[in-house]
Structures are given as structure tokens and as C-alpha cells.
Amino acid sequence: MNLFRTLVGRVLYGMKDHHFTYVEGTTTILHTQCMLAGKDICSAAGEDHWVAGYVYGAHCALLQYRGIEPGPVAMDFLEKSYGFVFGTGQDGRRMLQRAIALEKDSEFSIGNQEGGDDVLNWLRTKQPTMRLAVHLRS
């Protein structure tokens, strides 16, 4: 693990090592799939409801896997993780607020389910799926 990223995760985002490891892994999978599709994660999630849902579902699955129940701890984790994925400052918070506002959108819901399934599959099998990259390339 890159020492600088570890320190950023611990200091800037206030994450414990075990939380940071999962966030870093999920962030890497999301960014890698976007890169393979030739897209930027912020632009893709900002323009496509399915992608916004996929990212949100990936995070919710991470919370479920770690046994973090909905509430203040989960929201704090989501804010920090979204900040790590989308960048510090207002970008992460804005993207999380947008995701929460889209929860009833049908395309968002489909992406949400698939993102959650993919992360849980990755955590169980250590084999990431590439549904996000496939979606972005279509």
C-alpha cells in the first residue's frame, strides 16, 4: 500500500486502517474501471444515474460487509469515502447528496444493485467484475 495514500486516509479522512483498506480497494476498482472505459469518475457519476447508483451501491455494500448500520457512523463513513473517491472539498459531499436525492430513480436503483453485488462479489472472491467499465463503454 502506498504510504502517502495511507497517511492521507488516516489523517485527512480520519479513517481507521481497516476502514481505509476497504475504501482504498473500492476506490481503486471504481477508478480503474472508469480509466479502462476512458471516463472520469466525477463526470461519469455526474452525468449517468446508473453510474451514480453503482458507486452508491458499492459503498452501501461496503457498509453492510463491515457491519455498519445506517445512522451517523454510516453517514460519516460515506462522506469520508465519497471524499476519497471524488476528491476533497465539496465534490465528495455534492456527489453523495446527489446520490441520496436519486435513490428513487429507476436507473439509479439498477446501478445501485449492481454496484453492491459487484463489491460483495469482489470481497468474497477477490475477483473484481467489470460491469462499470462495460456500462461506460456501451
pTM for this entry: 0.82
What would the pLDDT profile of 18-38 be if each residue is shown by its tens digit?
A: 555 667 777 788 888 888 888
- What is the structure's pLDDT at 14? 45
Domain boundaries, the chain: 17-137
Is the pLDDT at 16 greater than 70, yes or no? no
| Mean per-residue pLDDT over the chain, rounded | 80
Alpha carbon distances (Å) from 58 to 2, 44, 129: 22, 15, 12
- pLDDT > 90 fraction of the chain, expressed in percent and rounded: 27
Cβ atoms within 10 A of the Cβ of 41, count?
A: 21
Sign of torsion over alpha carbons 72, 67, 20, 102: negative
Residue scoring higher pLDDT (90 or 104)? 104
Instruction: Give pLDDT, residue 6.
Output: 43
